[in-house]
Amino acid sequence: MKNIMIKLMKAREVTVIIFIAVLFAFVGTVNPSFVSPGNISLTLQNSVMYILLAIGIYFVLISKEIDVSIGSTLGMSAAVSATLLREGTALPLVILAGITVGALIGLINGFGVVKLRIPSIVMTLGMNGLVRGLMIVYTKGAWVENLPDYFKRASQHKILGTSTFLLVVLFIMLLISLYLKYAKKGKYFAAIGDNKDGANLIGIPVNGYKIFAFVLSGVFASLAGLVYTSQVGFVANVAGNGLEMITIAAAVLGGVSLNGGIGSVFGASLGALLMTSINSALVFLKIPAFWNNTISGLLLVLIVTADALINRYLKNKAKQEKLLKKKIQTEEVFSEEEVLS
């Protein structure tokens, strides 16, 4: 039983799946509508934005950095994309513009962290405020509305009863997961987060990959902004506000360590699904919406604390096993010497 618990702690994805199942079972007993096919489908559809954000933040966290500017990056990218859509710009150019905004913000973050050696929490926090201010200036404090109907309908499109956006995002997640697991260069991000100096010694371009991690975070935040815009149908001047906390909580809950080097894209995505499910559960439990941030903050504190305790336990367990192995080897050597004598 103890070995099973240790395996579950190491395979955080399994724990998250169990947590999601328990959440649906509990809330479903209070309000059966929560487990209806319609609500499950809606929850999965609403999770798309959070999954994209979680995939992006994964690259930064696994590299032992942090990005708290993803909320404002989403908002700014969404505002630029929505403005172009309203003006009749072709969709491919709109998508390209949104991604460019996100990539540029990520590039600036990466440059500040790597080249100027500004701590990532400070750099991205400053960028968060700067981008949020630029968004207000860009939109003149107004909401970007009157978007084309075809774009607003895109989020409702389904293939075999499943959201097209969800299927595309799951496909992207699968490709990234396979690349990170099997490609040599895909393993560089985790290697950098686990041991930066060691990664340098074996020839991994640490600085380049760290900058790339921030660029990817910005790109996925901009893609999340496009999904947000399509789902909501407008861009508020506070779009993306507070999403960084929820996303980091989701990634850590899914097993991505804040100390870098540990975690998976699949786990981060499951964490995003769990956070979406919790938001949905609050509605069905008739808990006021203003409690969302409080609950998300509390979850983040609990998750980070639990993450630290679990990592400490696993490290101690590994040390004990190593010492026990050495002890057994020593005893075997003494036994052989006694036999020979």
The answer to the question of residue 334 being in a domain is: no
Contact 86, 147 (CB under 8 A): yes
The answer to the question of residue 338 being in a domain is: no
The answer to the question of residue 323 being in a domain is: no
For the stretch 131-154, pLDDT in tens is 999 999 999 999 999 999 999 999
**Burial (0-12, 13-18, 19+ Cβ within 10 Å), 79:** buried
Residue 129 sits in a domain of what CATH number? 1.10.3470
- Is the pLDDT at 331 greater than 70? The verdict is no
Give residue 63's pLDDT.
96
Contact 55, 175 (CB under 8 A): no
Model confidence band, residue 338 (pLDDT cutoffs 50, 70, 90): low
Sign of CA dihedral 297, 299, 300, 301: positive
Residue 158 vs residue 66, higher pLDDT: 66
- Count of the separate structural domains present in the chain: 1
Residue 311 vs residue 185, higher pLDDT: 185
Q: Which DSSP symbol is given to 66? A: -
Mean pLDDT of 157-185: 92
Give residue 332's pLDDT.
63
Model confidence band, residue 251 (pLDDT cutoffs 50, 70, 90): very high
Model confidence band, residue 320 (pLDDT cutoffs 50, 70, 90): confident
The answer to the question of residue 324 being in a domain is: no
Distance CA 155, CA 164 (A): 7
Give residue 33's pLDDT.
92
Give residue 339's pLDDT.
58
- Is the pLDDT at 5 greater than 60? The verdict is no
Distance CA 242, CA 132 (A): 12
Mean pLDDT of 211-235: 97
Round to the nearest angstrom and report the end-to-end CA distance of the chain.
43
Least confident of 21-30, 122-131, 317-326: 317-326
For the stretch 25-49, pLDDT in tens is 999 999 999 999 999 999 999 999 9
Give residue 335's pLDDT.
65
Contact 243, 72 (CB under 8 A): no
The answer to the question of residue 26 being in a domain is: yes
Residue 201 vs residue 322, higher pLDDT: 201
Residues of 309-334 as b/e, b for ≥16 C-beta within 10 angstroms? ebeeeeeeeeeeeeeeeeeeeeeeee
Give residue 174's pLDDT.
96
Distance CA 328, CA 310 (A): 27
Distance from the Cα of residue 41 to its chain's centroid: 21
Give the up-direction half-sphere exposure of residue 19: CA atoms within 13 A in the CB hemisphere: 21
Amino acid type, 237: N
What residue numbers bound the domain in which 94 lies?
Answer: 2-316
The answer to the question of residue 265 being in a domain is: yes
For the stretch 92-120, pLDDT in tens is 999 999 999 999 999 999 999 999 999 99
Across the chain, what does the average pLDDT equal?
A: 89
The answer to the question of residue 132 being in a domain is: yes
The answer to the question of residue 275 being in a domain is: yes
Among 8, 259, 211, which residue's Cα sits nearest to residue 107? 211
- Give Cβ neighbours of residue 279 (< 8 Å, ≥ 6 apart): 46, 292
**Number of residues assigned to the chain:** 341
Model confidence band, residue 227 (pLDDT cutoffs 50, 70, 90): very high
Contact 87, 286 (CB under 8 A): no
Model confidence band, residue 300 (pLDDT cutoffs 50, 70, 90): low
SS3 241: coil
Give residue 234's pLDDT.
94
